[in-house]
Amino acid sequence: MARRLPKKDVVIIGLGWTGSIMANELTDEGLDVIAIERGPWRDAPTDFPTNYMQDELRYRIRHELFLRPDQLTFTFRNKIDQIALPIRNWGAFMPPNGVGGGGVHWNAETWRFLPSDFVVRTHLTERYGASFLPDDMTIQDWGVTYADMEPYYDQFEYLCGTSGTAGNLNGQIQDGGNPFEGPRSRPYPTPGQAQPFGPTLFAKAARELGYKPFPQPSGNLSKPYVNPLGLRLGQCTYCGFCEWFGCGNYSKASPQTTVLPILIRKSNFSLRDNSEVIKINTDASGTRATGVTFVDTSLQEWEQPADLVILSAYSMFNVQLLLHSKISQPYDPVAGTGVVGRNFTHQTISSVNGFFDNKKFNFNPFIASGSIGMCIDEFNGDNFDHGPHGFVGGAYMGQVQTGARPIETTLVPPGTPKWGAQWKKAVRDNYLSTVKPGTGVHGSFYSYRDVYLDLDPTYTDRFSRPLMRMTIDLHDNEIKQNRFMTDKFAEIIKAMGANVVDKQYRTAPYDITTYQTTHLNGGVVMGADPKTSVVNRYLQNWDVPNLFVLGASAFPQNAGYNPTGTVGALAFWAAGAIRSQYLKNPAPLVHA
Amino acid sequence: MRSAGEGMPLLRAVACAAALLFTSALAVAGESDPQDFTQIKNGQYLAILSDCGSCHTVPGQRRFAGGRPIETPFGNIVAPNITPDRETGVGAWTDDEFDAAVRKGVRRDGALLYPAMPYNAYAKMTREEVVAIRAYLNTVEPVRHAVVANTLPFPFDIRTAMRVWDALYFTEGVYKPDPAKSAEWNRGAYLVSGPAHCGACHTPKTLLGGDKTAQYLQGSKIQGWFAPDITGDKARGIGNWSIAEIAAYLKAGHNQVSAATGPMGEAVSLSTSRMKDGDLNAIAVYLKSVPGRQDTARPLPADDPVMTAGAAIYRDACSACHMLDGRGISELFPSLAASSNVRSDDPATLTRVVLRGARSVATAAEPTSPGMPSYAWQLDDAQVAAVVTYIRNAWGSAAPAVSAQDVARERSQLASRPD
């Protein structure tokens, strides 16, 4: 029997990037806000100390900061006619857990999507005709434009102190930046990071091939910064432990460094950690959320009533909680009905390893950060003519030097034995003279009718609820796209002077066991039409207007960029709509 | 039109009733007056200047309700309840009784207070100021909370012994301005020696716990920390800080050199960050004028093996935040190169921070509250000694070397400390 707690104005489910941003905005509005977080409290100096965080075994291999599958997992299959099995060890992605969420362990690559990404179906149809798109591709426009989002991208970047070189300032193309980016209203808050040898050589080779390389926009800062909340960040020391790790050096933007010290001292904010929300409650009509039910570590159930519910968990858990709460219609790929779980996507990542003469090249790969590198954007989105190539979508590509951590960084040229003295010699010979792009090719993943999320018919979690089932495979469009991108990228690695260029194409079937990225998207997509979206352009649920769902679950398809910049911008955008419109009149902000 | 006098009898009656309720004292001139907003407001600010809330409140519990153990070299003294509760607080005390406790160290029953209550500093205040504090305290929520103040072991539990202590170390008398100095300097001197009672922590103590007045504000070990020299001494004190930097430190808990943590973090949080800017400037002007020590330490040679080892450890363990040049990042990571605190004769604070880690105070002006991890598990006593010795002697500065035995002693003392 759930014990009922006093009512709050707002309950926030999950205190990661979007939950922290929304909590800070709504407490500024004077509302009484409680956040409920499944994982533990985490703070930068006490949980990510600089003197033991650099532990690859603990954090990378043993997944210290991530959800334990024992607490919650998913089932997986490639095709709709297969039987899905539970994931018992994380592989292709890492579900975050705990305060700060994915903002703790990200690489801090802080991109904006292209203007055409937000209107992708309209744009591609106009340029290439409707028949150019595969029949089962379900991409759609977002319901917002880049112009809508620009002030909110700016807000997120200035919260983080993002380091970068502007490529388009108010329509004026800038030297040294990304000439393909949408116009930005002001420069990055801090300058682009100084680049080590590998990325510098990559940029030189790219320039000679006619491309326009630029520093990757980075939440690992090039210099000390004070954000608009008065919080200070230091400059990155290039220790090379970003992804999978927390930063106790105060140089990586995270909720811990950019929002939480302000939020947790507000008297109208409270947090319950180690408490898992199992249901969003609705009234008898099903059109109004009344609060949430959560379970603590003693398995006591609690009901937290609230006027406004913000669902801001990791994308997958957003979908799952709507399915378990029976809010909005679940997607059925056969009937082609329903919306929750529809347009589930990931990312199409590949890499090219370049092996160089170790007598001439020492890349000193230990100088690293999650987003220190040079990139090109010539082949992203629709920045080039796809007509001759028979696919849509694109990728940024770059030489991003993310680290030389010893367990994973044992690249050897093709043909080397897998073990023994020769393998050891090859590791030794190549350790410092190999270009292992931390990013490589970072490609889009468009949405399809048969890539989706629903509830598994067989497997259940610790509360006897069905696990969520992932049905996901790579389609020909993405395979073609990746082959094209990987070849283009390999040309640049070759031009850098590599002796051996080892292309690692992304191939079907979709592999759940090896890491790509944690960029799982969609399932609660935003849009202009309630028949093809779960939330409106303000991330407000069509059916339950006092429920907003934040995060990458809103992406109708994934662009060829890391998602966090857009996730952060959408959180500020939704917060702005709640503050300026919803609170004055708590009703649907868009009438379908 | 009615004259103001016509309303007086009624007002006076109400005042008396309220005064009887709370203080059983008559609200006459010079007494605490529950009707006098100006007096209450002044008292509230004087309570901030005097940092009453620090000792008389258990952190996180009800304000001024007492119960917090105050650590002294002789044992713990528990701060009493100073809310207006009549039975367990000071609600039934007269203003004279309150004044005697604050400025003379004499309890209501005539027993003598222990100088953990800094009455030797508060004596610099006037009776009017103390009564104003009283008037303010009368307005806070009364809390019923009986506190047993004296938990000292024999023979320190004999309060009459304090007569001897008072004869040796206590001088009555309000602050006397020095006409040769500016008003600002005099305000600073009054604040530092009076209500803010800086010397309680920062002036070295005799074996009996009295101030070594000749070494006024030259630093003292307290509660497992070394409260540093805050005189104008450029080497060990804060003589190299500008007035603005001192004021910023007190206001924000951070400046381009240092950050407040431990007991000073609490003093910043509860007291100095809430002081008026003019008072912070006055404190700074005065502190810079206090003469420090005249002697200088000789730096260890850079090729000393301890310095070589310390430099290597510094590079590995410290330089990511504090930078290779020791200058840190302004307001975020303290500058070890510029900090005189790290070069105190007694290295307790530096050693403690290395062993235990530390977290600087969050203030409205500087909300980040950055932290440093503990190195106790990672560095042994000799390694801590080497890196601490290096920090004390690098970047053109000088301080006595710290031995592995010193670190071992600190480590063992810290092991029994809950804070």
Contacting residues of A for B321, CB less than 8 Å apart = 50, 234, 249-250
pLDDT at residue A468 in the model: 98
pLDDT at residue B172 in the model: 87
Among all residues of A, which ones are annotated catalytic?
A: 519
Among residues 236-265 of chain A, which lie with CB inside 8 Å of chain B? 237, 239, 248-250, 261-262, 265
Q: Which of B242, B259, B289 is the last residue of a domain?
A: B289
pLDDT at residue B29 in the model: 57
Average pLDDT for A22-27: 98
pLDDT at residue B411 in the model: 96
Closest-CA residue in chain B for A257?
A: B368
A54 contacts chain B (CB < 8 A): no
B339 inside domain:
yes
Q: What is the DSSP code string of A48-109?
A: S-TTTS--HIIIIIS-TTB--TTT--EEEESSTTSPPEE--S--S---B-STTTHHHH---B
B261 inside domain:
yes
Q: Which of B169, B197, B230 is the last residue of a domain?
A: B169
pLDDT at residue A207 in the model: 98
Average pLDDT for B388-415: 95
- In whole angstroms, how far apart are CA A139 and each of A125, A388, A473, B219? 11, 21, 16, 69
Instruction: Name which of B271, B364, B259, B203 is nearest B57 in CA terms.
Output: B271
Q: Which of B237, B254, B289 is the last residue of a domain?
A: B289
pLDDT at residue B20 in the model: 42
Contacting residues of B for A235, CB less than 8 Å apart = 329
Average pLDDT for A506-521: 95
B7 inside domain:
no
Task: Tell me if A49 and B368 make a contact (CB, 8 A cut-off).
Answer: no
Residue B171 has pLDDT above 90, yes or no: no
Peptide bond before A330: cis, by omega within 30 degrees of 0? no
| Same domain flag for B310 and B257 | no
Percent over 70 (pLDDT), chain A: 100
| Same domain flag for B19 and B70 | yes
pLDDT at residue B28 in the model: 52
Closest CA–CA distance from residue A234 to any residue of chain B (Å): 7
Instruction: Nearest by CB to A50, from B320, B329, B368: name it.
Output: B320
B60 inside domain:
yes
B315 contacts chain A (CB < 8 A): no
pLDDT in tens, A315-342: 999 999 999 999 999 999 999 999 999 9
Phi/psi at A548 (5° precision): -115, 140
* Residue whose entry in the numeric block shows the structure tokens 């994380």: A90
CATH assignment at residue B365: 1.10.760.10
Closest-CA residue in chain B for A234?
A: B329
Token output for B133: 């504090």
Closest-CA residue in chain B for A256?
A: B368
Task: Tell me if A250 and B368 make a contact (CB, 8 A cut-off).
Answer: yes
pLDDT at residue B159 in the model: 82
Contacting residues of A for B372, CB less than 8 Å apart = 45
B161 contacts chain A (CB < 8 A): no
d(CA A347, CA A542): 27
pLDDT at residue B3 in the model: 42
d(CA B298, CA B289): 25
Please give the helix or strand (H or E) that residue B44 lies within, else none. Answer: helix B37-50
Task: Tell me if B372 and A45 make a contact (CB, 8 A cut-off).
Answer: yes
Closest CA–CA distance from residue A190 to any residue of chain B (Å): 16
| Same domain flag for B313 and B270 | no
pLDDT at residue B72 in the model: 86
Task: Tell me if A234 and B329 make a contact (CB, 8 A cut-off).
Answer: yes
Residue B261 has pLDDT above 60, yes or no: yes
Task: Tell me if B367 and A265 make a contact (CB, 8 A cut-off).
Answer: yes
| Same domain flag for B312 and B370 | yes
**Domain of residue B206, residue span:** 183-289
Task: Tell me if A234 and B333 make a contact (CB, 8 A cut-off).
Answer: yes
B3 inside domain:
no
Average pLDDT for A65-90: 96
Would you place residue B156 in the very low, low, confident or very high pLDDT band (cuts 50, 70, 90)? confident
pLDDT in tens, B175-214: 999 999 999 999 999 999 999 999 999 999 998 889 999 9
- In whole angstroms, how far apart are CA A171 and each of A146, A167, A180, A182, A184? 13, 9, 11, 8, 8
Average pLDDT for A175-186: 98
Task: Tell me if A250 and B370 make a contact (CB, 8 A cut-off).
Answer: yes
| Same domain flag for B157 and B187 | no
Give the residue from B256, B332, B363, B378 with the most A CB atoms within 10 Å of its CB, the best one to mutate: B332
| Same domain flag for B207 and B344 | no
Instruction: Name which of B118, B73, B45 is nearest B276 in CA terms.
Output: B45
| Same domain flag for B32 and B137 | yes
B365 contacts chain A (CB < 8 A): yes
B123 inside domain:
yes
Task: Tell me if A234 and B332 make a contact (CB, 8 A cut-off).
Answer: yes
Return mean pLDDT, chain A. 97
Task: Tell me if B368 and A234 make a contact (CB, 8 A cut-off).
Answer: no
B242 contacts chain A (CB < 8 A): no
| Same domain flag for B394 and B372 | yes
Instruction: Name which of B5, B17, B23 is nearest B97 in CA terms.
Output: B23
Residue A200 has pLDDT above 80, yes or no: yes
- DSSP-derived 3-state class of residue A511: coil
pLDDT in tens, A97-127: 999 999 999 999 999 999 999 999 999 999 9
Task: Tell me if A232 and B329 make a contact (CB, 8 A cut-off).
Answer: yes
| Same domain flag for B133 and B101 | yes
Would you place residue B16 in the very low, low, confident or very high pLDDT band (cuts 50, 70, 90)? very low
A230 contacts chain B (CB < 8 A): yes
Would you place residue A133 in the very low, low, confident or very high pLDDT band (cuts 50, 70, 90)? very high
Task: Tell me if B367 and A52 make a contact (CB, 8 A cut-off).
Answer: no
pLDDT at residue B21 in the model: 44
Token output for A494: 């070759």
| Same domain flag for B211 and B334 | no
Burial A349-371 (b: 16+ CB within 10 A, else e): bbbbbbbbebeebebebbbbbbb
B373 contacts chain A (CB < 8 A): yes
Instruction: Nearest by CB to A232, from B359, B368, B373: name it.
Output: B368
B384 contacts chain A (CB < 8 A): no
Instruction: Domain A3-582: give its CATH superfamily.
Output: FAD/NAD(P)-binding domain (3.50.50.60)
pLDDT in tens, B340-353: 999 999 999 999 99
> Is residue A477 a contact partner of residue A375, using CB atoms and an 8 Å limit?
no
Return mean pLDDT, chain B. 90
Closest CA–CA distance from residue A160 to any residue of chain B (Å): 14
pLDDT in tens, B344-383: 999 999 999 999 999 999 999 999 999 999 999 999 999 9
Would you place residue B19 in the very low, low, confident or very high pLDDT band (cuts 50, 70, 90)? very low
How many structural domains are present in chain B?
3
| Same domain flag for B110 and B253 | no
Average pLDDT for B51-80: 93
Average pLDDT for B4-10: 40
Average pLDDT for A400-420: 93
| Same domain flag for B153 and B195 | no
Residue B231 has pLDDT above 50, yes or no: yes
Percent over 90 (pLDDT), chain B: 75
B72 inside domain:
yes
Neighbours of A450 (CB within 10 A): 16
